[in-house]
Structure 1
Amino acid sequence: MSDTILPGKPPIPLILRRSARARRISLRISQLDGRVTLTLPKRVAAHEAMEFAREKEGWIRKHLAARGADIDIAVGAFLPVGGLMHEVVPGTGRQIAFDDGHVAVPGAPERVARRLAGHLKTLARARLAEASDHYAAKLGKPYSAITLRDTRSRWGSCTAEGRLMYSWRLILAPPDVLDYVAAHEVAHLAEMNHSQAFWQQVQRIHGDYEEPRAWLRREGGDLHRYRFEA
């Protein structure tokens, strides 16, 4: 795998990935992070992939524009918490506080993003543990552990050993979406598949799940636009 640049305004980073199974050059734009990946057969030269990208430049830029730009978290930025937008403002004292559409973050401006990310992860762990406990009790099967990650390919997972993993960014989503994901993963404690029996378990412990599931498919990718890197 290698990186290159498609020139223009702005320049677009491209990831070139070779695959023994690829029969032709293919192009993919991740809706999660906007990464543009070109997959090419092993014997195809890199310059051919670049020519392909230049031919598709209009399509690439159109789709990146539709996705929207990434948002760097700092004082003055807006981000959703629990599905409601909050403006990041300077705070006083030692605690991060939410009030009337604002999240006040004390400390040096260059540390705001990192402090807020840590606080959101703490909130996410508490909410996801609460939801997991609730649905595990309704299912009648305990889980063994919960971990949080910043995953891009999935919102949660459940292992055969009963370990639940969630994306901490679920705390940014509406509460019913977080609850649905918790119910979904807990249901795997009974059914390690996506069979009809699995969805019946989700329905039994959660109730109707179509609306939060649809929201996650439609809006979930936007939660990855918020950047907390220093």
Structure 2
Amino acid sequence: MPRLPEKTTESTAFLDLDGARPVAVVLRRSAQTRRISLRVSGLDGRVTLSIPKSLPKATALGFLSEKKEWLRKALEGVPQQIPVIIGSTILFQGTPLQIACDGEARRIRLEGQTLFVPADPDGTITPARVAAFLKDQARRALVSAAHSYAARLGKQVAAISLRDTRSRWGSCTADGRLMFSWRLIMAPPPVLDYVAAHEAAHLCHMDHSRAYWACVSGLMPDYQRHRAWLRQNGAHLHGYRF
């Protein structure tokens, strides 16, 4: 976990939702927080209660107890977390692949719709191996797409980095550095291409003005369809646990 600023502290409380397994709630106390607020991440179900620095803990827990019904409904709407284990499936370029174990292999290999992963000594697999495979494939696809769209605009990309971002699929800095979520490799290729075009267009327009969207449309006339796919399915891509 990244180190928090000195004025922010975190602790954990557990809330019993009337017979269900207790829910872990992160209590985030900060001098910058002006009012108490409860948030549930739509990606992984993380529950955070932000509270002002001077608010008594008992008051915060009382507020939390009053929000039981709201919290239960919010958690029901969170996509189920998907473990990356032998026999499970994972999306790759929009296609479900079954994960299988190969006790003799040293590297991951893709055969048809099966992803063979080297076995650990205990006969299981390490999810990080699968993540590494996806990151490598994502880098190849995104580097190619981003440079291609930038060239069409007469621009150059200064650098490309991949991260496991939670709030955005890509970004562009004023000096031409592009960042992408490596989880895009799980989406259909046209969706990955849309995000590459989206960020490349920022090399011309560092905003979301009409001129910017006209630029995106020039690169990909049907971009709205791929943008809609991400809105509808993006949370599922974040549901895989590596």
| Shared fold (TM-score, shorter chain, > 0.5) | yes
Q: Distance in 2 between matches of 1:57 and 1:86?
A: 38
- Equivalent in 111, 121, 136 of residue 99 of structure 1: 111
Cα distance per residue 1:131-171 (max 9 Å; x no partner): 11221111110101111111112111111111111111111
- Structure 2: runs of 5+ lacking an equivalent: 1-8
Asked whether 1:180 is paired with 2:194, we answer yes
The CA distance in 1 between the partners of 2:50 and 2:214, in whole Å, is 38
Q: 1:23 to 1:145 in 2, by over 3 A?
A: closer
- In structure 1, list runs of 5 or more residues that go unmatched: none
The CA distance in 1 between the partners of 2:175 and 2:119, in whole Å, is: 41
Judge conservation of contact 1:135–1:206 (CA < 8 Å) in 2.
Answer: no
* 1: CA distance, partners of 2:176 / 2:125: 36
Match of 1:7 among 1, 6, 16: 16
1:21-36 matched pairs, under 5 angstroms = 22-36=33-47
The one-letter code matched in structure 1 to 2:168 is R
* Within-5 A mapping of 1:44-83: 44-83=55-94
Check conservation: 2:42, 2:79, Cα contact below 8 A: no
Give the TM-score of the pair, scaled to structure 2: 0.87
Task: Give me the whole-angstrom Cα distance separating, in 2, the residues matched to 1:47 and 1:40.
Answer: 11
Contact kept, 8 Å, 1:75 with 1:112, in 2: the verdict is no
What's the offset of the Cα at 1:20? 4.6
Q: What is the identity percentage for the equivalent residue pairs of Structure 1 and Structure 2?
A: 48
RMSD of the alignment, in Å?
A: 1.8
Q: Answer yes or no: is 1:144 the counterpart of 2:158.
A: yes
Structure-1-length-normalised TM-score: 0.91
C-alpha contact (below 8 Å) 2:142/2:196 kept by paired residues: yes
Is the counterpart of residue 86 in structure 1 residue 100 in structure 2?
no
Shift of 1:58: 2.3
Residue in structure 2 matched with residue 206 of structure 1 by the alignment = 220
**1:14 deviation in Å?**
1.0
Find the counterpart in structure 1 of residue 6 from structure 2: none
Q: Of 128, 133, 141, which aligns to 1:114?
A: 128
**1:55-109 deviation per Cα after TM superposition (whole angstroms, max 9, x unaligned):** 2222222222222331221112221111121221113433322234321112314
Q: Counterparts of 1:45 and 1:212 in 2: how far apart (Å)? A: 47
2:4 alignment counterpart: none
User: Which of 196, 218, 224 is equivalent to 2:232?
Assistant: 218
